[in-house]
Amino acid sequence: MIPASRISLFRWRLTISEWAWILLFISLPAGRPFTTYTLVLVVAISLLSIRIIETEYVKQNLKSVWPMLLFFFFHLTGMLYTDDFDFGFKDLSVKIPLVLIPVIAVFTGISDSLKKKAAIAFSYSCVTVNLFLLIRAVINHHSGMQDPFFYDSYSVLIHPAYMALMNVTAISILIFDDTSAFSKKKVISLLSIIFLSASAILMASKAGLLSMLIVYLAFAIKTFSGNRFSKFLLTGTIVMIALAIIFIFPVKERVKQSLEALRHPEKAATMQEGTASRLLAWQTAWHIAKDYFPLGTGTGDIKNVTLSYYEHSGYSWPLYYKLNAHNQYLQSVAAIGIGGLVSLAFILFIPLIRRKKEESLPLIFNLLVFINLLFESMLEVQNGVMLIASFYVLWNVRPSHLLKDT
């Protein structure tokens, strides 16, 4: 067993197990394989340093995490009526953090100070990763690369939509963590917020832009009266987004193409554009959900069934890129039926019922996840699974009384 003695680093005094959790949150913006390695580390250290946690603590927190376990259970039972076991087991391996992370947190305990430190560590890890992306883009620009500051040419570690959500999550943590005076810490936070906002704009994720506006509006609603800081942040962000759409050509063109696809959905099958492809993917997933209701296609068969529908409908662009539903709600109900949709709804709404009234971040994060799941099948990709599972635990598992904060 690993001793529970505390190790001091960067003025934080934590146990080895807690440092492993910190590394997990630091690794999130870097994506795979870093998140895989740190998750294995958390599991290994937690098993070696396991301690007796009071039964009441376990019972209370199981009431918060059971929706994730239920979501995984429906995917597991979906293997009973699937034909493509290879893809089914691959899908389960992607989703296994939905079980590992909550179970480890509930049965080994998590302290209140760790929750706060992990959130801050994640935020500044996002800043570091975005700084790396910016430096890389500058180098590529001088090397003659076209549009190195835009979309997936800029966000090379993680899909732009996922990275944009991480940036917005980090922004949420920074602006809701400390909104008092312009101290030295506040100046660093402000500069980080501006940098993360600008970087999220360059990623040109429409869901990311919408999420960022929602965060700033939520902040303004909470602190607008007489608070210059909130006015500055809100006004500055709206101006940045407006200028980006008006003057930054790639962002402007991407928004223009999206509006064109929405105005003329009948042309979507011939348009090589993200929104048009999503419209076709949503339509296909809806038809699959109806045709295979109430159990869905099965965990392993959803991919082959989707591709066959694309081929039959003549959707060449989604077929070529083998797109999933790009909507987690449709993806889940198409794959594992009504059980998937219900358990997904529990994941989003149970924490809202159980949260403390004064807690803003859990509410905001759940709202951001709800919105982004409309545009991305985030629980079909490990980067999305790790992000959602990690913060679900961080903001919904209550600290154990046996774990003293330092």
- CA–CA dist 219, 179 (Å, integer): 10
Sign of the Cα pseudo-torsion (92, 277, 133, 367, in order): negative
Please count the helices (runs of H) and the strands (runs of E) in the chain. 19, 2
Can you tell me which residue has the tokens 């937690």? 46
pLDDT-derived band of residue 183, with 50, 70 and 90 as boundaries? very low
The percent of residues above 70 in pLDDT, for the chain, comes to 77
Euclidean distance between CA atoms 238 and 317, whole angstroms: 34
Q: Tell me: the pLDDT tens digits for 151-182?
A: 889 999 999 999 999 999 999 999 886 544 34
**48-57, 187-196, 279-288 — most confident range:** 279-288
d(CA 255, CA 204): 9
- Indicate the angle between helix axes 274-291 and 249-263, nearest 10 degrees: 40
Residue 267 tokens read as 């042309």
Residue 6 β-bridge partners: 15
pLDDT band at residue 147 under the 50/70/90 scheme: confident
- The structural domains of the chain, with segments of one domain joined by +, span 6-257+336-396
Token pair listed for 27 = 């690794």
pLDDT in tens, 6-40: 555 555 666 788 889 999 999 999 998 999 999 99
- Picking from 26, 207, 50, the residue whose alpha carbon sits closest to that of residue 129 is 26
Q: Which of 232, 192, 235 is nearest to 213 (CA)?
A: 235
**Is 80 exceeded by the pLDDT of residue 96?**
yes
Q: What pLDDT shows up at residue 360? A: 80
DSSP code per residue over 285-314: HHHHHHHTTTT-S-TTTHHHHHHHHHHHHT
pLDDT band per the 50, 70, 90 thresholds, residue 259? low
Query: In the beta sheet, which residues pair with residue 12?
Result: 9
- 247-256, 263-272, 373-382: range with highest mean pLDDT: 373-382
Summarised one tens digit per residue, pLDDT across range 284-318 is 999 999 999 999 999 999 999 999 999 999 888 88
Name the pLDDT band for 237 (thresholds 50, 70, 90).
low
Residues 110, 14 contacting (CB under 8 angstroms): no
